[in-house]
Copies of this chain bind each other. A is one copy, B any other.
Amino acid sequence: MQQYFIKENFENKSYTLNNDDSFHIIKVMRKNVEDKVYIAFSDGSRYICSIKEFINNRVIVEPYKKVDIETELPLNITIAIPPLKGSKFEFLIQKATELGVSNIVLFESERNVAKLKNDKIENKISRWEKIAKEAAEQSKRGIIPTILYKRSIQELIDDCSTYDYKLIAYEKESGNSSNHNLKEFLSNDLDKRSVIAVFGSEGGLSEKEVAVFNDYNYKSIGLGKRILRAETAPLFFISCVGYFAELS
């Protein structure tokens, strides 16, 4: 059953879906009155809702049955990464959302070739939010991950000071078998905690940048002996965290 998001807390009343979702339900899914859809509300609750009527091409639904299955990971995972070239960032948003990420933070670094123009940032973020929303709907998430943009590493560090765990994936730690920082992090009780993990773009982070993060207590982690592409490394990380938080 297809899921949609409504940006309101749940109340036992009828809801009018927005234009995009209404179009999707009527034209793509070809649903009729009395058909059912999943609706996720801003407070995290999810209901199977029944289609009550169509008014001016908008779909009106009413709650039918509460869904008690929790699909969110029990911790907040934030990944921070500079802009990537081509469609790689869009791919990353989709996959990270399926795997359970809470927030994706873009930040400007020394070596990222892909640059965001100031006047394009808002448009780009809208587009990325749409990708996150669609992936969250498809994977039946309870929330839509947020996409944020930070103009510098200092801004990123300042705005993310309250995380329980702070990590930075560093290529040079890949082959270092005496680095146990990832294992130590994963052996913690992750329930209701928050972690931020920083990754580099295609060109990696500079030693100087890594040192700045280290100064702010971001621990360097290695992700195995193979060289992972920029968009693959966060997926490996989120998969491992998800496993330990939910299945171990």
Contacts and interface: CB of A to CB of B under 8 A. Distances in A.
Contact of A240 (B95, B98, B141, B243): B243
Most B C-beta atoms less than 10 A away, residue of A70, A71, A224: A224
A118 interface: no
Q: Give chain A's interface residue range (CB within 8 Å of chain B).
A: 35 or more
Contacts of A95: 232, 235
Contact of A227 (B140, B224, B227): B140
A188 to B, nearest CB: 14
B71 A228 contact: no
Interface of A: 69-72, 91, 95, 98-100, 138-141, 175, 182-183, 186, 222-229, 232, 235-236, 239-240, 242-243, 246-248
7 contacts: A91-B91, A138-B229, A182-B243, A186-B248, A224-B242, A236-B239, A240-B243
Nearest 5 CB-CB pairs, A to B? A239-B239, A139-B226, A236-B239, A71-B225, A139-B227
